[in-house]
Amino acid sequence: MSLETSDHFFAQLPPLTDFAEVLVSRNYQELPEDWWLVVTDVEGSTQAIAEGRYQEINSLGGCTVAAVLNAVKPLVIPYVFGGDGASFCIPPGCVATVRNALLGCREMAATQFQLNLRTGLLPYRRVREEAQVLVCRFKKSEDLHQAIFAGGGMLEADRLVKLNADYHVRQSEGHAEADFSGFECRWQRVPSPLEVTVSLLVEVTAKELEEQLKDYQALLQKMQALLGNDEHQQPLSIEGMRLSFDRDKLASEARANSYMQAGSGFAWQVWKLRLINLVGLLLMKLGIRLGGADWGRYKSDAILSSDFRKFDGMFRSIFTARQKDLDGLTVWLEDQRQAGVLNYGVHVSDAAQLTCLVSQAGVHHIHFVDGCDGGYALAARELKQQQLTGKGKT
C-alpha cells in the first residue's frame, strides 16, 4: 500500500455484511506498518463500579471515541469501544492532534468526573514485534461500519500500555485540546426484551489464527443454536428505549459540555438537555420528518446501528436471553474452558445502557451498547481470573 493511500486504509477495505465473514482469515488485511495505536481506559474502574459509577465510566469511553474521531476528521479510522475505554488505529500524520485530544480527555476526566483516564499511544512497529493487527470492516448499517480486529495486536497494545508508563501520553508533549461534539448520553436503562441482559467476553487459547477463528466460529454457532439469531439476541427494543429527564442520567453529557463551553454551568446544561429530549420525544412520538430525519424511525435506526457484538481478537457481546438458555450457554462455555479451549467472563444484568455518537441529529448516529451495573468491565474481571487459573492449550 502506497503512502498516498495509507491514510485511507480502513475506508478502502471491502465491507462485509455477514458477521460470520469476520471469522474468515482471508477477509483481513494487516494495518500499515507506520500507523500508531491508541488505548484508553479508566484506572480503578472496579472500585468506581462498586460505588455505582459505571455510567460515568462508560461515558468517558464514549467521550474518548468522540474526541479521537473529531481529531482525525475527515479520515475514517478503525476503532473499538470497550466499555471503560476504547482502542484506535491512527495514521502517522494524526499523532500530534490525537495526542492533544487524549490530553483533553484526561483533563476532562479529572476535572469533571474526578476519575483517572489512562491514555496510551504507541507505534504499531513496537506491537508488531509480538503480534499483528489484522483488520476487516463489518457493515452493520449504513452509519455503523465496525472495525474488526484479529492477530492479537490490539490486545498486545492494551497489555503494553498497562504495563509500561513510557507509552502514556505526557502533558509535556502537547496541550489539552479535545472536541467531544457528537457525544450523547440521554437514554434510560433499556430493559431486557427477554429475562436478562448479558455481557460476554470470550478469548480462545489457540495460538494459530486459523485455529482461533475456528473456535470463535464454534462459539457463534453455539450461541445461535441456544439463543437464536441476531434479532433474538438484540438487547435493545423500541419499547424499551426511552429518553431520560433524570439529572443523574444526563449528568455525564452535561459535564462534557460544561468542559467544552467554559463558563456554562452544569445545572444549565442539564436543563438544556431536558429541553432537547422533550423536543426529541415529541418528534419521535408524532413521527415527524424534519431536517432530513425521519424521527418516527429513529429508535429502529438506532437499534440497527448499535454495536451489541464485536471482535477485536476477543469476542465481545451484549445480548438478551432467557435464563435457561443462558444457563445452557454457560455450561457449554465451562466445558470448553475445562478442555482448555477458551476463557470467558460473564456479567448478568436486567438492562443495557447506551452511549451515543451523533454526527447529524436524527440522520447519522451510532450507538455503543454495554450491560448495566458493570457490563464489560466486570465480565473482564472474571475473564482475567480464569486466565490466571485456566488450563489453555499447549
If pLDDT is split at 50, 70 and 90, which confidence band does 82 have?
A: confident
Secondary structure string (H, E, C) spanning the chain: CCHHHHCCCCCCCCEECCHHHHHCHHHCEECCCCCEEEEEEECCHHHHHHCCCHHHHHHHHHHHHHHHHHHHCCCCCCEEECCCEEEEEECHHHHHHHHHHHHHHHHHHHHHCCCCEEEEEEEHHHHHCCCECEEEEEECCCCCEEEEEECEHHHHHHHHHHHCHHHECCHHHCCCCCCCCCEECCECCEECCCCEEEEEEEEECCCCHHHHHHHHHHHHHHHHHHHCCHHHHCCCCCCCCCECCCHHHHHHHHHHHHHHCCCCCHHHHHHHHHHHHHHHHHHHHHCCEECCEEHHHHHHHHHHCECCEEEECCEEEEEEECHHHHHHHHHHHHHHHHCCCEEEEEEEECEEEEEEEEEECCCEEEEEEEEHHHHHHHHHHHHHHHHHHCCCCC
15, pLDDT greater than 90: yes
Cell of 309: 457484538
If pLDDT is split at 50, 70 and 90, which confidence band does 3 have?
A: very low
Mean pLDDT, residues 45-58 taken together:
88
211, pLDDT greater than 80: yes
Mean pLDDT, residues 66-79 taken together:
95
If pLDDT is split at 50, 70 and 90, which confidence band does 392 have?
A: very low
Mean pLDDT, residues 189-195 taken together:
97
Mean pLDDT of the chain: 92
pLDDT at 2: 44
335, pLDDT greater than 90: yes
Mean pLDDT, residues 296-325 taken together:
95
Mean pLDDT, residues 133-158 taken together:
94
pLDDT in tens, 241-294: 999 999 999 999 999 999 998 778 899 999 999 999 999 999 999 999 988 889
Cell of 90: 491512527
Query: For the ranges 100-109, 112-121, 168-177, which has the lowest average pLDDT?
Result: 168-177
CA 215, CA 152: separation in Å to the nearest integer? Answer: 15
The pTM of the whole model exceeds 0.95:
no
pLDDT at 390: 64
Mean pLDDT, residues 114-130 taken together:
95
Q: 269 φ, ψ to 5°? A: -65, -40
In the chain, the percentage of residues whose pLDDT exceeds 70 is 96
pLDDT at 290: 86
pLDDT at 84: 83
181, pLDDT greater than 50: yes
pLDDT at 393: 42
Query: For the ranges 67-81, 99-113, 253-267, which has the lowest average pLDDT?
Result: 253-267
